[in-house]
Structure 1
């Protein structure tokens, strides 16, 4: 018995391919030295059948954005503004009951550390069967059949035997496959993959990303890929959201953004990738460090590291269209690709 496919209603954007519409999402973080803004008015749509990448340096707010969407923020953090509409429900204002109903059935997440995400004291077959019993009301035998089918689909060898194995008895790549199987079990319309291949070797990384790509197509999901790996984004994503200091600084189709960036930060990220260099050559990097959240500069958040900073940068730029389907938050976006 296969779980029925779920379909989300069109979002407020009017595009029936948009599964999740994030608008003005803002998260504040309470610290011993005061409250800081960790996520500042982040907006993006996630469309069915596409992979949207959230890209930026560590600490730019990618994972906190994901945690806000799935309701896993630390107690010291809270959403203070914005909306995130999924299947006609605003995740920001949704009740606990509404969120539980959407968990796994409409929105799922895959973490980077599968060993801590899986329960170490239960066999993996039991963990895979649980969503079918809870959300679909299946009997134990029916749920076990579905779990076996999932293990087979994600490429677990000898699934019938390994149903009764525990997470620590699997390799890192196999555990990640199991985590993906759990995430897609109930056919969610949106899957968030938070650094899903970080701890894996290159060959296994490629296998995991191929699996995600196939499942995205089969189940017509929107995949939100969180990463700092530009090569991964270039190969796997359709569109990209560039984040810096909790802000979105540029968005657009990956091929266009990478070919002609319209924000100096994006250009700096791309230039830092070693391409065609030889031993002993000087590697490029972005000067300085990301700002401390307690001292985000007034005006453009990137101005203290920007090579084309000017007086106008003391005023905060807004995300503005710079080409069809592309936005940039830079007063001098036309010059950015030539920095």
Structure 2
């Protein structure tokens, strides 16, 4: 590997901040006309207070489904069939619906991909931002509105007092995303899940949104789970990365180490596909083929049909997720070959 990925975010000043959320063995199935399909397969990761973990992978690899399972927003055709999600030591999946509603805000905040559909078009943004304070903190309408205006100012909305009376369609895409972030962090959650938070925004606005998330994470010591397929964002913003493929985590570790020396062929293929050093007229590298459908995942290693290292063992045996060195894991039979390459 000849790219410099040392721009990855440094860890929080505290060398060992507490674990804010730990996911172990998370599995999700969806019901289809031809039977059930496992779309999230034994996923595990943890994220510490004040740090960022990125879930990285191509579209359809299970990143968003993992987030939806954590926060209890799965579609009716999907069910969590195994695993635990410990939020500051409490298993979210074992909570009653009422308990989960109580932690929605102070426990876990969510930033969705499309701010226009996430915001209610018939209510002013000020009333929507004030609602968490009225529900969870029992503030009066006036006090909650003042809190909402303070939040709007904090996330960079100009003239917040007058703009609080406006409706979502009266804001630009970038401003709507700032409003959605404000709603997600209003009650100072322990963990913030951001699912492709810069989708459909131009490059300049993307950078501003990511910087806002980083500032809020640092000042509030939130744990941030960032769902993305953007390698540059991961390199710049994350401390840890969990690479997903076909519903499973296939590599996990510190960003600088994983990007500097990937120990799974899929991770290496993703990094090689970035045209950082491409010259005009040269062929761009890519991973051949497409991710498998959840209903037709190959036997053995799910990546073997696209993998340049694939051998008979890969078809016969599913590679376990093994510790390759302290703090790093990989699900490849031949990770040592990659380490020595």
- Which TM bucket (shorter chain)? over 0.9
Aligned mate of 1:325, from 324, 327, 332: 327
Aligned mate of 1:334, from 332, 336, 339: 336
- Structure 1 residue 87, shift from structure 2 partner: 3.1
Distance in 1 between the 2:91 and 2:268 partners?
34
Distance in 2 between the 1:59 and 1:283 partners?
23
Match in the other structure for 1:160: 161
Moved more, 314-323 or 35-44: 314-323
Distance in 2 between the 1:242 and 1:52 partners?
10
Q: What secondary structure does 1:252 align onto?
A: strand
Q: Is the 8 A contact 1:267 1:337 kept in 2?
A: no
Alignment partner of 1:284 is 2:285: yes
- Structure 1 residue 216, shift from structure 2 partner: 0.2
Distance in 2 between the 1:94 and 1:78 partners?
15
1:1-339 residue pairs with structure 2 within 5 A? 17-313=18-314, 314-336=316-338
- Structure 2 unaligned regions, length at least 5: 1-15
Distance in 1 between the 2:156 and 2:176 partners?
11
- Structure 1 residue 89, shift from structure 2 partner: 2.4
Q: Deviations over 1:236-291 (max 9, x none)?
A: 11100000000110000000000000000000000111012122210001011111
Q: What secondary structure does 1:92 align onto?
A: helix
Q: What secondary structure does 1:304 align onto?
A: helix
- Normalised TM-score (structure 2): 0.93
Distance in 2 between the 1:89 and 1:238 partners?
24
- Structure 1 residue 333, shift from structure 2 partner: 0.5
Distance in 1 between the 2:125 and 2:208 partners?
20
Q: What secondary structure does 1:192 align onto?
A: strand
Moved more, 236-245 or 304-313: 304-313
Q: What secondary structure does 2:329 align onto?
A: strand
Distance in 1 between the 2:92 and 2:175 partners?
31
- Structure 1 unaligned regions, length at least 5: 1-14
Distance in 2 between the 1:150 and 1:295 partners?
46
- Structure 1 residue 338, shift from structure 2 partner: 6.5
- Structure 1 residue 321, shift from structure 2 partner: 0.8
Q: What secondary structure does 2:280 align onto?
A: coil
Distance in 2 between the 1:263 and 1:155 partners?
40
Distance in 1 between the 2:130 and 2:174 partners?
20
- Structure 1 residue 16, shift from structure 2 partner: 6.1
- Normalised TM-score (structure 1): 0.94
Distance in 1 between the 2:307 and 2:125 partners?
49
- Matched residue count: 325
Runs of 4+ aligned structure 1 residues displaced above 2 Å come to 336-339
